[in-house]
Amino acid sequence: MLKIYGIKSCNSMKKAFDLLTELNLPYEFHDYKKLSIDKDTLKSWLSEIGQDFLLNKKGTTWRKLSAEQQQAALASEDQLIDTLIANSSLIKRPVLKTAQGYIVGFDDEKYRALQ
């Protein structure tokens, strides 16, 4: 079964939910705004996905961090994980776990290929 991570109110999440429903693909949803996200999951994502794909530097949450906070977050994997836990909006959405790996961000074509 697919597992999708994100924040329920996000527009990209809504597109993902709608398409998964349209394609009749069952999924489990993990709202990391309400349920948080644990260090082991983030460590796994950083290992498999990479920081460049996981960290949302275009969003307002990143821009609201001071230059010092941004530098501190990027100084080490542990500091990045702590920053992502404290500011889950910094994680690109959605993160979709499939049998083949992860799809980060909404990608209509990749979602349709899951059928």
Give yes or no for residue 115 having a pLDDT over 90. no
**Residue 75 burial (10 A CB sphere; 0-12, 13-18, 19+):** exposed
Predicted local confidence at residue 47, as pLDDT: 96
Q: What percent of the chain has pLDDT over 90?
A: 97
Concerning whether 10 is annotated as a catalytic residue, the answer is: yes
Measure the CA–CA gap between 62 and 56, rounded to whole angstroms: 7
How would residue 16 be classed by pLDDT, with cut points 50, 70 and 90?
very high
Predicted local confidence at residue 66, as pLDDT: 96
Considering the entire predicted model, what is its pTM? 0.93
pLDDT tens-digit series, residues 24-44: 999 999 999 999 999 999 999
Give yes or no for residue 97 having a pLDDT over 90. yes
Domains and CATH numbers, the chain: 2-112 (3.40.30.10)
Neighbours of 43 (CB within 10 A): 14
Predicted local confidence at residue 62, as pLDDT: 97
Predicted local confidence at residue 34, as pLDDT: 93
Which candidate in 2, 6, 7, 10 is catalytic? 10
Helix (H) and strand (E) counts in the chain: 7, 4
